[in-house]
Amino acid sequence: MKTFKLLTILFFSTLSFFTHTAFSDTNCQPSSCSIAPIVRFPFHLANLQDDRCGVPGFGLSCNSKNQTILTLPLAGEFIVTYIDYNTKWIYINDPDSCIPKRLQIFTLYGSPFISVFPMDITFLNCSLDSSYDFQFPIYCLSNYPKYVVVASSSSSVPLGCQNMSRVSVPVDDTVYRYQNPGALGVDLMLTWRIPGCVACEAKGGTCGYKNVNRRQIGCFNLPSQGIPSTIKYGIAVGVGIPGLGCLIIALAYYIEHRTHSRRRQHDAELSNPSITLQPLAIAAGLDGSTIESYPKTVLGESSQLPKPSDGTCSICLAEYQSNETLRTIPECNHYFHATCIDK
């Protein structure tokens, strides 16, 4: 019974291993709030995917408008408009369509994201009678006809304007290249760093945790000409686990049956006193006349005997040496040291 319990524990441990190993492929399929963006590792979508499908700090959610939301610890909620998993860029914007307002208190502190192309922007509060050229007015921050807010890449403050703030804006490569503050209405661009995923994505695979322990990151779904890896794994698990269970049950039955048979045989021997062990003839000793009747052979210098297997005495287990005297027992036609038999 103990054997069966141990094998049962082994079976369920193996089953747990298969289940944990297949976690990334079976429970972490890509998802989305609507059509786009597609959410997968290192991100996970709250209420639609298990938290273990993504890296801590990469959680996304869906709002009432089915928009994908990224919540930065100290900057609040932003709409995710696009995720590029190959370049590891994520594009975000303001749900209220006024990203310049959000930039006044924007920070990435406490999040796993960093800015790829940071551009310094100065926000100016200018009166309408100012001589400043309002080239890049920000309408969602302005209050006509009292004042207008403009963005400038220069740190200088022109006459008739006040410095509201100077911030570092995580713009995309195009805005950064041309240093165009008038493009502040477009998305902000952030990036992240997950070791080992760049090469995987470049090969056409997807990154993910190898198991629920979230200690190692693996590469899954690499393109192949044969059956997809997920189907192969499903077949292996579907066939392997039942087969392993049957094997363990059969092995447990065999061990229990064999143990029970030996126990019954032992009990029968103890209950039958007429059965006694017969002593070996050699262990009891032979009379002198019988021993003397056994032929003697003196080995020559070569120590060769007719059979190569006769080179060792079966009594003392020592190899025969030249000039030693041997005796032969006719019943078995084996050689022994004469001194071993005489004893």
- In whole angstroms, give the CA distance from residue 56 to residue 77: 17
- In whole angstroms, give the CA distance from residue 201 to residue 215: 19
pLDDT number for residue 20: 44
**187 and 101 share one domain:** yes
pTM of the model as a whole: 0.59
pLDDT digits (tens, 9 = 90+) for 271-288: 665 545 455 444 445 677
**9 and 35 share one domain:** no
Which portions of the chain are predicted below pLDDT 70? 1-27, 131-132, 225-246, 253, 266-267, 269-286, 302-303, 308, 343
pLDDT number for residue 15: 46
Does residue 298 sit in helix, strand or coil?
strand
Would you give the DSSP letter of residue 261?
Answer: H
- In whole angstroms, give the CA distance from residue 292 to residue 68: 104
Q: Which of 276, 291, 312 is the last residue of a domain?
A: 276
**187 and 54 share one domain:** yes
- Residue-by-residue DSSP string for 104-141: GG---TTSS-EESEEEEEEEEEEETT-SS--SSEEEEE
Strands (E), 6-160: 44-45, 59-62, 68-72, 76-84, 89-93, 114-115, 117-127, 137-143, 147-152
Place of tokens 């959610």: 61
> Domain total for the chain?
3
In a domain? residue 333: yes
**18 and 41 share one domain:** no
In a domain? residue 95: yes
**162 and 295 share one domain:** no
**22 and 37 share one domain:** no
pLDDT number for residue 107: 95
**45 and 154 share one domain:** yes
**245 and 292 share one domain:** no
- In whole angstroms, give the CA distance from residue 304 to residue 298: 11
Domain range for 119: 31-192
pLDDT number for residue 300: 73
Taking each helix axis from N to C terminus, what angle separates 2-21 and 229-271, rounded to the nearest 10 degrees? 170
**71 and 9 share one domain:** no
